């Protein structure tokens, strides 16, 4: 009797507490499963805390919802847990069912995911590394404040180490709220001081960061409190949250950077990411291991290994043999073969295109000082034939320095194939018999890049321009093209520029004099009118007016022709079917790999 009285009193107390506003925010664990519609700003972690008492049980909701989806298509199918959308219908299991689903999810743990790129990571430090896919491997260890939606959707900019951001009325000062309770792998707290340190490291001329010009608009970084930072720019700059998602701006442990110095930090980097650095054996392997204390939940995988395979055919063979789980840059014919033969157990991945591929010309060198020569080489190359024959028509020729996925993209000029016009322009410029030129490229970095180089070489030979091709390993190539004007040997080169922020500022500022090598402008091109437009679009808050300014900038770049404009690179990658919840984002980076798992067969 006393026991019953005690239980009755407890029930009354619970009911009274439930009636008091704000006292109990979380629902008690459900006795029966129930559906739930995702609300704005919901996360699976928060939903799990509310209904199951702990954010770590979110995987039970994922597994239960996907199981329900098989029976009832009104329930969502959750492929990437971090990308749930408002309006999705989830299934919240009961407390007892949740334990069973968690046990099922535990079976996902373990294994090493092997990724093969065409090039090695040049250096394991985001400040000095180049190549967005390579930087994606670095971001497994060192994260940014923000990231771009992996499918290019809305909202475009997603939180990572920053949880929210607001701009001042004049658009010059952005206040970022930071994720609390996060530590770098060496135990150093992540806070506003760490953000200030990393941004100032990027901006310090002594650092010689490759992407310094991309952040040159930042005037100051102010620590407001431990988890709040103000970033002030020279003028209004609406794109700052997206710009901070650019891969070189990763957060590294100030303690470790100061301990090892800029020169040696890459030997033992410390970030906040889901994986910890183990080793980087040049040309062979980058190995990172799971961070069991990761703030976003321990990864399923034990480790990720990136093993570079420059030869395209060898990369594809490694995938088919199961030696690699994921490979970048699969030729279109192989991709079609994988689609036609599902028994091979290979999925083809085709994120949106956001990279331009071009032949850069050092406009301070010899014949390339004359705009007529640069335009002539553009008319000399049949871009559409290259696309049709090498890429099976899966892309389009460049008609802008921005990709079609970019904000403010505007098709402005297309250099059609016209060898007669090319010869006419060369003769006008004083080169009726052509000239000789060297062309450097990093073999294996881009899809079928060797075939493209050979095709361009042949087209230029037809108008009298004799090209000596010099292939290099990616790191050596990157070091060569980053030499300043007084040291460079570069005359012409093949490279691709991605636009991982999808904002035009990053796409056009690389044509400014501020971006000259050792920055990204290795053509040593500049135009004062263009520099003015770059500054103007940054200060223009009205979106439509800004796009008009950006359109004018695109027109100048295409007319000045510091490059042979080729095509937008098709993004064709592949993975084995046992790799689950894996994505390559629109930015070309592997994304949310802590949610990836290997199905055991």
Query: Please, which pLDDT band fits residue 15 given cuts at 50, 70 and 90?
Result: very low
* Strand partners of residue 495: 358
What does each C-alpha distance from 241 to 22, 165, 176, 313, 352 come to in angstroms?
A: 33, 8, 9, 39, 21
Q: What is the mean pLDDT of residues 361-383?
A: 98
| Structure tokens that stand for 502 in this block | 């999808």
**Three-state secondary-structure class, residue 50:** helix
CB 59 within 8 A of CB 300: no
CA distance 323 to 341: 19
The answer to whether the 26-106 and 355-568 domains have the same CATH topology is no
Average pLDDT, the chain: 92
Least reliable range by pLDDT among 20-29, 190-199, 261-270 = 20-29
Give tens-digit pLDDT for 87-120: 999 999 998 888 888 887 777 889 999 999 999 9
pTM: 0.82
Cis, peptide link before residue 593, omega less than 30° from 0: no
Query: Please, which pLDDT band fits residue 122 given cuts at 50, 70 and 90?
Result: very high
- Answer yes or no: is pLDDT of 542 > 70: yes
The CATH-assigned architecture of domain 26-106 is Roll (3.10)
How confident is the model at residue 357, as a pLDDT? 98
Starting at the earlier edge strand, list the strands of the sheet with 436-442.
466-472, 436-442, 492-498, 355-361, 563-568
- Answer yes or no: is pLDDT of 12 > 90: no
Ordered by start, the domain boundaries in the chain are 26-106, 145-250, 277-351+572-598, 355-568
* Strand partners of residue 112: 303
Give tens-digit pLDDT for 214-233: 999 999 999 999 999 999 99
Which of 529, 543, 555 minimizes the C-alpha distance to 402? Answer: 555
The H or E element that residue 220 is part of is: strand 218-225
Least reliable range by pLDDT among 26-30, 102-106, 193-197, 327-331 = 26-30
Query: What percentage of the chain carries pLDDT values higher than 90?
Result: 81
CB 330 within 8 A of CB 574: yes
Q: Give phi and psi for 65, each to the nearest 5.
A: -65, -45
Looking at domain 355-568, what is its CATH homologous superfamily?
Dipeptide-binding Protein; Domain 3 (3.10.105.10)
CB 215 within 8 A of CB 249: yes
Which of 360, 355, 354, 375 minimizes the C-alpha distance to 511? Answer: 360
How confident is the model at residue 16, as a pLDDT? 34
Please, what CATH class does the domain formed by 277-351+572-598 belong to? alpha beta
- Answer yes or no: is pLDDT of 177 > 60: yes
CA distance 81 to 73: 18
Give tens-digit pLDDT for 464-482: 999 999 999 998 999 999 9
- Answer yes or no: is pLDDT of 20 > 60: no
The CATH-assigned architecture of domain 145-250 is Alpha-Beta Complex (3.90)
Which of 344, 313, 342 minimizes the C-alpha distance to 327? Answer: 313
**Three-state secondary-structure class, residue 453:** helix
CA distance 599 to 148: 28
């Amino acid at each position: 009797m006393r026991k019953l009285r005690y239980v009755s009193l407890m029930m009354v107390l619970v009911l009274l507490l439930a009636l008091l506003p704000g006292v109990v925010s979380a629902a008690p664990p459900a006795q029966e499963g129930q559906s739930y519609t995702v609300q704005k700003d919901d996360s699976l972690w928060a939903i799990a805390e509310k209904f199951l008492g702990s954010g770590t049980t979110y995987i039970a909701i994922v597994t239960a919802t996907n199981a329900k989806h098989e029976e009832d298509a009104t329930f969502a199918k959750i492929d990437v847990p971090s990308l749930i959308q408002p309006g999705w219908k989830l299934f919240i299991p009961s407390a007892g069912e949740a334990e069973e689903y968690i046990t099922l999810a535990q079976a996902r743990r373990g294994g090493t995911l092997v990724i093969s790129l065409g090039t090695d990571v040049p250096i394991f430090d985001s400040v000095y590394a180049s190549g967005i896919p390579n930087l994606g491997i670095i971001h497994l260890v060192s994260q940014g404040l923000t990231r771009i939606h992996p499918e290019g959707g809305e909202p475009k900019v997603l939180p990572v180490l920053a949880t929210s951001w607001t701009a001042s009325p004049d658009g010059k000062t952005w206040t970022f709220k930071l994720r609390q309770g996060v530590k770098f792998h060496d135990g150093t707290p992540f806070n506003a001081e760490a953000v200030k340190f990393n941004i100032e490291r990027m901006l310090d001329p002594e650092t010689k960061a490759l992407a310094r010009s991309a952040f040159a608009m930042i005037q100051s970084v102010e620590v407001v409190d431990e988890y709040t930072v103000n970033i002030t720019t020279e003028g209004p700059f609406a794109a700052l949250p997206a710009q901070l998602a650019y891969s070189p701006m990763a957060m590294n442990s100030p303690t470790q950077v100061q301990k090892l110095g800029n020169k040696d930090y890459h030997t033992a980097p410390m970030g906040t990411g889901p994986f910890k650095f183990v080793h980087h054996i040049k040309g062979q392997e980058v190995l990172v291991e799971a961070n069991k204390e990761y703030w976003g939940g321990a990864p399923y995988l034990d480790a990720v290994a990136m093993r570079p395979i420059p030869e395209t055919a060898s990369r594809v063979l490694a995938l088919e043999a199961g030696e690699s789980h994921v490979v970048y840059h699969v030729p279109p014919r192989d991709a079609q073969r994988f689609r036609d033969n599902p028994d091979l157990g290979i999925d083809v991945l085709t994120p949106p295109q956001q990279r331009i591929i071009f032949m850069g010309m050092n406009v301070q060198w010899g014949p390339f000082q004359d705009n007529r020569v640069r335009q002539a080489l553009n008319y000399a190359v049949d871009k559409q034939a290259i696309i049709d024959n090498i890429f099976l028509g899966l892309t389009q020729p460049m008609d802008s320095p921005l990709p079609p996925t970019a904000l403010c993209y505007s098709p402005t000029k297309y250099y059609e194939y016209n060898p007669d016009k090319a010869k006419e322009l060369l003769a006008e410029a004083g080169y009726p018999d052509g000239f000789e030129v060297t062309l450097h490229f990093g073999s294996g970095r881009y899809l079928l890049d060797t075939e493209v180089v050979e095709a361009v070489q042949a087209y230029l030979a037809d108008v009298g321009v004799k090209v000596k091709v010099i292939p290099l390993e990616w790191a050596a190539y990157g070091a060569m093209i980053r030499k300043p004007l007084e040291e460079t040997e570069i005359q012409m080169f093949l490279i691709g520029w991605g636009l991982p922020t999808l904002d035009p500022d990053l796409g056009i500022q690389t044509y400014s004099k501020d971006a000259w090598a050792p920055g990204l402008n290795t053509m040593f091109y500049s135009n004062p009118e263009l520099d003015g437009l770059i500054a103007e679009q940054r200060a223009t808050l009205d979106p439509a007016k800004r796009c008009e300014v950006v359109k004018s900038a695109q027109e100048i770049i295409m007319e000045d022709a510091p490059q042979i404009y080729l095509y937008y690179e098709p993004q064709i990658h592949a993975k084995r079917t046992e790799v689950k919840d894996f994505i390559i984002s629109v930015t070309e980076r592997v994304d949310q790999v802590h949610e990836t798992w290997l199905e055991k067969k």
